[in-house]
Amino acid sequence: MTSAADIRTRFRERGFVVDDAFATSLEIMLALQKPLLIEGPAGVGKTESGKVLAEVLEARLIRLQCYEGLDAMAALYEWNYPRQMLHARLSESTGATIAQREAEIFSEPYLLRRPLLEALTEDRSPVLLIDEVDRADEAFEAYLLEVLAEWQVTIPELGTIRARHRPHVILTSNRTRELSDALRRRCLYLWLPYPSLEQEVEILRARVPGLSERLADRIAHLMQVLRGLPLQKAPGVAESLDWAMALMSLHREHLDARTLEQTLGCVLKVHEDRSIVVEHRAALAPYLADAPAASEGGGYGLATDFGVGTVLPGR
Amino acid sequence: MYPFGDLPGNLAAFCGVLRREYGFRLGPGEINDAARVLQRIDLTDQQHVRDAWRTILSSSRETAIAFDRAFDAFFFPGPSGSPQERQPRTERAVSKSDAPTSAERRLAEQGPHTADDADDDDTGRGAPSDEMADDEPSAEEPTARWERARYSALDVEGVEPLDVRPVSPAWRDAARALVRRLQLGLSRRWQSAPRGRRFDLRRTWRASLQTGGEAVTARWLRRVHRSPRIVVLIDGSRSMIGTQGPALDLAVALAGVTRRVEVFAFSTALTSLTLHARRAGSGRLVKVFLNRNTWGGGTSIGASLRTFLQRHGERHVTRETLVLIVSDGLDVGEPEVLRDAMREIRRRAAGITWLNPLLETPGYEPSSRGMVAARPHITTFAAVSDPEGLARLARIVRLRR
């Protein structure tokens, strides 16, 4: 299961549409056993791809959600202090030397494994998803370096723990902060853009069963237009899926201006963006169904003014 | 077709071009990976090879975009669409670095798609010019620099280079004072400290082992102080000529004392000067060739700020950012655009400081359309023309916490 075509098929079976570039990146990541850094706008399926990869490989998914303030204690390991303390008290009268007692309480049973250490000590290579790594502090990247380059964790009291099986690592970033060169150099890189029109139709059809081809096509077209507008929060794939679901549950077979108005909340998450869309109504109009001429002659049948003159439907 | 007959030779030559002409940082590890992966993939599928190598050799969005351009220029130098056997042979690109290679010449002739980074970002071709324009400039001869500037920003013929100079210690001290003043309160991260708000069980327990298991010294944790990011936006338009020197000095001084500074120049288009300012901040004279759209052109403050927000806002404007705008506010664009952009920056950033050189002119009233649109969103309004001015700014600058 390592060729790009194979990856595409397996992902597709699980409703996740990947393009050639993405499939090739995953192929190489599996072949070279290096971590893959995926960057891209919000809502294009970066996190989802890690989950699906775990399913496809039938491996365990270990997820580390990064946040500001994440430290080694929460990501790598921690000692179980209360238990150590208890043991130290209980073993006071056994007559063991200090060195013996110390060796006992700093042994593996007293170690709490956090996601990164856990990923290294699995029996089968798991998929390790380090999500939104840009949210963690810069200092945190230093902890990641040893894990991602050497596949080992050094615990001063215990020694170095090496991975028995290298985990498949996916890092995601929304680029809210520039990642360090050191981290980038240890990773393969993929920029995941918004899907093309055809891809989006394919994704909608794969993920929303029962969605008509026509409606999927309209939604995909509108999303392309919306992403071209100067919005504060451009809608991602997650938003178009939400929108499709909403239209399905409202039993709308056509997208007209009224329906658009009612369901715009699925797509736009900032109030100011609504007024921007209203301003650019004209750009959306060709893909809405309420124009009377829409059913004529196969095309949308509208003479559309793009601001450069009138574009008439081709003959 | 290619400079060498064998694949490893071509790969090495290609990586050389990426390093030299596009500023990629590639070590033997990456090249080794790129060679190893060839055993696994379908060599007859051009797209597959391209995708594979892009994954390995690029490390950011900008380099990924530059990679595709370099790949075409190196492996398909002829007119697009013609079969590979017909493609002209790529010249050996391993000779002297100051002689422009064929790829360089082609890029130079190719025309305006690299020139204006104001509009074509979405088509994926507008890699920031700084990405390509500077690699190791200090060691280079002017001719080589000129070549580079030529294909990164068009229309620089006849343009005098802009000198970004190192600054005096007084500037640096004032910049340090400003950075020190900009405290943003506490981060959510905990740090070990002799005295703090939270008991540090782990370290106390660890220390107690040296005293036979009795916790004699207590250890504490406290919150880390957050230090701010600074974005300096310099208006490079014609009306600012003569007052831009202090603005550049200010940017260089800040870049010299902290890494958390981004510098941009704009007049109708926007260009990053961060790397240049950093180099000048470390004491070297840097010459930059800037497009007239960026330096010495007309003024479009609102549109430039909007471009800045769209392109860099997500990364550089956070709740920890102080946005420093140096401009006279003489905007020829629609005031609504400026107002909306300012409001958006204000919403996202910790503060906006507007430095208006005209403010030092006796009797000046900030009543131009641009200033009127921008003023409600400014948190600190001042003028800085010398280190003393910057030190004064450090005392009055305000941030939202």
CATH code, A15: 3.40.50.300
Which amino acid does the sequence have at A21? Answer: A
Residue A307 lies in a domain: no
Residue B164 lies in a domain: no
Q: What is the mean pLDDT of the segment spanning A114-128?
A: 93
Q: Tell me if chain A has a CB within 8 Å of the CB of B198.
A: no
Q: Indicate the residue among B92, B110, B133 that finishes a domain.
A: B133
Is B152 buried (19+), middle (13-18) or exposed (0-12) by CB count in 10 A?
buried
B233 and B378: one domain?
A: yes
B24 and B113: one domain?
A: yes
A186 and A156: one domain?
A: yes
| Domain interval for residue A99 | 80-109
ipTM rounded to 2 decimals: 0.79
Cβ neighbours of B344 in A, within 8 Å: 232
Distance CA B299, CA B332 (A): 6
CATH number for the domain harbouring residue B289:
3.40.50.410
Q: What is residue B217's predicted lDDT score, i.e. its pLDDT?
A: 83
pLDDT value at A101 more than 90: no
| Domain interval for residue B71 | 1-133
**One pLDDT digit (tens) per residue for chain B, 401 residues:** 566 678 888 899 999 999 888 878 888 989 999 999 988 888 888 899 999 999 999 988 888 888 999 999 888 877 655 555 555 555 444 444 444 444 444 444 443 343 333 333 333 333 333 333 333 334 444 444 434 433 344 444 556 678 888 889 999 999 999 988 887 777 777 888 888 888 888 888 877 777 766 778 888 998 887 778 899 999 988 888 878 888 999 999 999 988 889 999 988 888 888 888 988 888 888 888 777 777 877 788 998 998 898 888 877 888 889 999 999 888 888 888 899 899 889 888 889 999 998 888 888 888 888 889 898 899 899 988 889 999 999 888 887 75
Distance CA B187, CA B164 (A): 35
Residue B170 lies in a domain: no
A146 and A17: one domain?
A: yes
Q: Indicate the residue among B89, B113, B133 that finishes a domain.
A: B133
Residue A302 lies in a domain: no
What Å distances lie between residue B140 and B66, B125, B134, CA to CA?
A: 22, 26, 10
Q: What is the mean pLDDT of the segment spanning A162-181?
A: 87
B237 and B386: one domain?
A: yes
Cβ neighbours of A230 in B, within 8 Å: 306, 310
Whole-structure pTM value: 0.67
Number of folded domains that form chain B: 3
Which of A78, A92, A177 is the closest to B315 by Cβ?
A177
B254 and B286: one domain?
A: yes
Q: What is residue B115's predicted lDDT score, i.e. its pLDDT?
A: 36
Residue A127 lies in a domain: yes
* B178 φ/ψ sector (left φ>0, alpha ψ -120 to 50, else beta): alpha
Which amino acid does the sequence have at B271? Answer: T
Most A-contacting residue of B36, B50, B55, B314 (CB-CB within 10 A), to test interface = B55
Least-confidence region, from A138-147, A261-270, B128-137, B252-261: B128-137
Which of B36, B51, B61 is the closest to A21 by Cβ?
B51
Interface touch B55/A188, C-beta < 8 Å: yes
Q: Indicate the residue among A152, A171, A191 that finishes a domain.
A: A191
Distance CA B212, CA B138 (A): 59
Interface touch A69/B40, C-beta < 8 Å: no
| Other residues' Cβ atoms within 10 Å of the Cβ of residue B58 | 26
B213 and B240: one domain?
A: no
B201 and B283: one domain?
A: no
Distance CA A91, CA A93 (A): 6
Residue A136 lies in a domain: yes
Residue B250 lies in a domain: yes
pLDDT value at A19 more than 70: yes
A54 and A173: one domain?
A: yes
Residue B218 lies in a domain: yes
B242 and B375: one domain?
A: yes
Q: What is residue B21's predicted lDDT score, i.e. its pLDDT?
A: 84
Q: What is the pLDDT of residues A215-255, one digit of tens each?
A: 999 999 999 999 888 787 889 998 999 999 999 888 888 88
- Of B165, B183, B273, which is closest to residue B228 (Cα–Cα)? B183
3-state SS string for chain B:
CCCCCCHHHHHHHHHHHHHHHHCCCCCHHHHHHHHHHCCCCCCCCHHHHHHHHHHHHCCCHHHHHHHHHHHHHHHCCCCCCCCHHHCCCCCCCCCCCCCCCHHHHHHHHCCHHHCCCCCCCCCCCCCCHHHHHCCCHHHCCHHHHHHHHHHHCCCCCCCCCEEECCCCHHHHHHHHHHHHHCCCCEEEEEEEECCCCEECHHHHHHHHHHHCCCCCCCCEEEEEECCCEEEEEEECCHHHCCCHHHHHHHHHHHHHHCCCEEEEEECCCEEECHHHHHHHHCCCCEEECCCCCCCCCCCCHHHHHHHHHHHHHHHHCCCCEEEEEECCCCCCCCHHHHHHHHHHHHHHCCEEEEECHHHHCCCCCCCCHHHHHHHHHCCEEECCCCHHHHHHHHHHCCCCC
Residue B235 lies in a domain: yes
A175 and A237: one domain?
A: no
Q: Tell me if chain A has a CB within 8 Å of the CB of B240.
A: no
Residue A296 lies in a domain: no
B22 and B86: one domain?
A: yes
Q: What is the pLDDT of residues A31-66, one digit of tens each?
A: 999 999 999 888 888 999 999 999 999 999 999 999
Cβ neighbours of B315 in A, within 8 Å: 175-178
Which of A71, A190, A232 is the closest to B189 by Cβ?
A71
A68 and A185: one domain?
A: yes
A139 and A154: one domain?
A: yes
Number of folded domains that form chain A: 3
A65 and A102: one domain?
A: no
A41 and A134: one domain?
A: yes
A56 and A43: one domain?
A: yes
A56 and A167: one domain?
A: yes
B121 and B26: one domain?
A: yes
Q: Indicate the residue among A93, A109, A125 that finishes a domain.
A: A109
Q: What is residue B123's predicted lDDT score, i.e. its pLDDT?
A: 37
Q: Are A159 and A121 in contact (CB under 8 A)?
A: no
B301 and B201: one domain?
A: no
B91 and B3: one domain?
A: yes
Q: What is the mean pLDDT of the segment spanning A190-214?
A: 91
A259 and A179: one domain?
A: no
A20 and A127: one domain?
A: yes
B290 and B219: one domain?
A: no
